[in-house]
C-alpha cells in the first residue's frame, strides 16, 4: 500500500511512501526497546545536552521544516516558522526542568525512610494528527524522552514526510539511532502496535472517534493512554469587554492555522449589550483576511489539509444555513484547484444546528447571542467538549472567577485565546479526552510513580 502526499494548495502529488510490513514494524519496536533500556540508564544531564541539541537543529533548519509543512498540509509559511520555534522552546523547557520535575520526593511515614521515585515506562506509541505536524509530536516527545522513555510515532498519512523528518532531527542531534522512530503504517498495523508487548503506553491527539478506538484497544491490554481530542471552545464576550481587543485576538484564535486547531475559538458567545458592535467589527476584520497560496507573502488563511475535509466542513455550514443560520461572509467553495475554504462567519446559530453542536475544524466562526453572563456560561458548557475556553471582561476578579469556576474545561483564559504553553498543563475533560501534556503534569504521565519504604532490621 502506498500513501500519496497531495499538496492541498495545488492538488498535485508531491511524494509517496510505502507502508511498512508487519516484520519491519516488529524490527523497529525491538530496536527501539533496546535503545530505550540503555537510554533509561543515562543521566538527566546527558539527556538535557542532547535535547538542547535538538532545539539547535530545529532553529538552524526552521525554513526547511516550515516549507515541508506548507507542502504537505498547507500550513501558512510564517506560521510554520513559528511552530518550529515553539518546538525548540519546548525542548529547551524540558531540558532545563525535567530533572527537578522527576526528582525523588521524601514522604514522612513511620518507616526509616520512605520516598517516591519516577521511572520511565518504556517505549511510548504516539498517534498524532496533521494540523500541527511538529508541535503535536514535540510536546509529547520532549518530556517523554527526558523522562527516559523511547518513542515510536504513527503520524497522519498526509504528513509522513514530516514524520520521517523528525526522526532525522533526533538522529542529527545525536540521540541514539532507534530511540525515536517513525512508523509508516495505517490503522490495522497501528492496532497491532498498541497490543505489542514492546509498547508500554499510548498517547493520541485526534478526533473523538479515533480517541475512543485507541483507548479501547489500549484498555484491552491494560496500557496507560493520554487522549487529547476534539474541542469546540467558547469565547465569551461580556458587556464590559474591550470589544476591539476581543475581535483582534478572536480573529487569530479562530483563523490561525486556517482554522484547523482543537483549541481554536470556535463559538463566540456574546452578550446583548455588545453583540451588534462585536459582530460588525468581527465581520469587517474577517473580510480583510487574505486566503491563498500558503507560501505567498501576506496570506493568512491557506487551504484545508485535504479536499474531503474541506467538503465536510462545507456540508456543516450548509446544514446550519438550511436550519436557519445566517452566513455573514464566506460559505462558498471557491473554484479552482486545492482544498481552499474561505474565512466564514455564521450568525443566528441555535441549538440543533450543526454549527452549534459539532466541531467545525476549519475557518468558520459561529456567533451566538446571549442575554447575560449566566446564559453565556450555560451555552459555553452545554456541549460534551471541554478542552479550552476564554472570557473577556475588564473586571479581572470577575474574569478569574468565571475562568476558574464557571467554564468547564481543561484550561480557561481571561482576555486571551486558548493556547498551549510548555509551562502549563494541556488537556481536556469529557469528549475532549483525559490526561495532560506539558508542564510537570505532562512529564509525569508516562512514568512509574514508584513508592519505596526502607525499615531497619
Q: Which of 323, 320, 343, 319 is nearest to 331 (CA)?
A: 343
In angstroms, the CA 270 to CA 253 distance is: 15
In angstroms, the CA 236 to CA 267 distance is: 8
Pair 196, 215: CB distance under 8 Å: no
| Helices 44-60 and 62-73: angle between axes, nearest 10 degrees | 70
Q: 273: helix, coil or strand?
A: helix
Pair 110, 121: CB distance under 8 Å: no
Residue showing cell 511510548:
124
Positions annotated as catalytic residues are 228, 262
In angstroms, the CA 184 to CA 22 distance is: 11
Long-range contacts of 160-165 (CB under 8 A, 24+ apart): 160/3, 160/5, 160/15, 160/17, 160/184, 161/5, 161/15, 161/17, 161/68, 161/71, 161/72, 162/65, 162/68, 162/69, 162/72, 162/133, 162/134, 163/133, 163/137, 164/17, 165/65, 165/68
Cell of 398: 470577575
Amino acid at each position: 500500500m502506498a500513501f500519496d502526499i497531495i499538496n492541498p494548495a495545488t492538488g498535485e502529488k508531491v511524494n509517496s511512501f510505502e507502508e511498512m510490513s508487519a516484520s519491519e514494524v516488529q524490527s523497529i519496536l525491538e530496536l527501539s526497546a533496546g535503545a530505550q533500556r540503555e537510554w533509561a540508564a543515562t543521566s538527566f544531564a546527558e539527556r538535557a545536552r542532547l535535547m538542547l541539541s535538538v532545539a539547535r537543529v530545529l532553529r538552524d533548519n526552521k525554513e526547511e521544516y516550515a516549507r515541508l509543512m506548507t507542502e504537505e498540509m498547507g500550513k501558512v509559511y510564517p506560521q510554520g516558522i513559528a511552530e518550529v520555534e515553539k518546538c525548540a522552546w519546548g525542548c529547551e523547557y524540558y531540558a532545563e526542568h525535567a530533572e527537578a520535575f522527576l526528582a525523588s520526593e521524601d514522604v514522612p511515614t513511620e518507616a526509616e525512610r520512605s520516598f517516591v521515585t519516577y521511572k520511565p515506562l518504556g517505549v511510548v506509541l504516539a498517534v498524532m494528527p496533521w494540523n500541527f505536524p511538529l508541535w503535536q509530536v514535540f510536546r509529547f516527545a520532549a518530556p517523554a524522552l527526558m523522562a527516559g522513555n523511547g518513542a515510536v510515532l504513527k503520524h497522519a498519512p498526509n504528513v509522513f514526510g514530516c514524520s520521517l523528518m523528525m526522526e532525522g532531527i533526533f538522529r542529527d542531534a545525536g540521540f541514539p539511532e532507534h530511540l525515536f522512530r517513525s512508523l509508516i503504517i495505517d490503522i490495522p498495523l497501528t492496532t497491532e502496535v498498541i497490543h505489542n508487548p514492546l509498547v508500554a503506553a499510548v498517547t493520541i491527539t485526534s478526533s473523538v472517534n479515533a480517541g475512543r478506538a485507541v483507548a479501547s484497544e489500549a484498555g484491552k491490554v491494560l496500557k496507560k493512554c493520554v487522549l487529547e481530542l476534539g474541542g469546540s471552545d467558547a469565547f465569551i464576550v461580556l458587556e464590559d469587554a474591550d470589544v476591539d481587543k476581543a475581535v483582534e485576538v478572536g480573529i487569530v484564535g479562530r483563523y490561525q492555522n486556517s482554522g484547523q486547531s482543537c483549541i481554536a475559538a470556535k463559538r463566540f458567545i456574546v452578550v446583548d449589550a455588545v453583540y451588534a458592535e462585536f459582530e460588525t467589527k468581527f465581520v469587517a476584520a474577517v473580510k480583510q483576511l487574505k486566503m491563498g497560496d500558503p507560501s505567498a507573502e501576506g496570506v493568512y488563511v491557506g487551504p484545508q489539509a485535504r479536499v474531503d475535509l474541506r467538503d465536510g466542513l462545507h456540508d456543516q455550514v450548509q446544514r446550519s444555513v438550511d436550519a436557519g443560520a445566517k452566513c455573514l461572509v464566506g460559505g462558498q467553495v471557491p473554484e479552482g484547484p486545492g482544498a481552499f475554504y474561505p474565512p466564514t462567519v455564521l450568525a443566528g446559530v441555535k441549538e440543533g444546528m450543526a454549527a452549534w453542536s459539532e466541531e467545525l475544524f476549519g475557518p468558520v466562526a459561529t456567533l451566538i447571542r446571549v442575554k447575560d453572563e449566566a446564559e453565556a456560561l450555560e451555552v459555553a458548557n452545554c456541549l460534551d467538549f471541554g478542552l479550552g475556553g476564554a472570557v473577556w471582561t475588564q473586571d479581572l476578579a470577575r474574569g478569574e472567577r468565571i475562568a476558574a469556576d464557571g467554564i468547564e474545561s481543561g484550561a480557561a483564559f481571561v482576555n486571551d485565546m486558548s493556547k498551549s504553553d510548555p509551562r502549563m498543563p494541556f488537556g481536556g475533560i469529557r469528549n475532549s479526552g483525559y490526561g495532560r501534556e506539558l508542564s510537570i503534569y505532562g512529564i509525569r504521565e508516562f512514568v512509574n510513580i514508584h513508592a519505596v519504604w526502607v525499615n531497619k532490621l
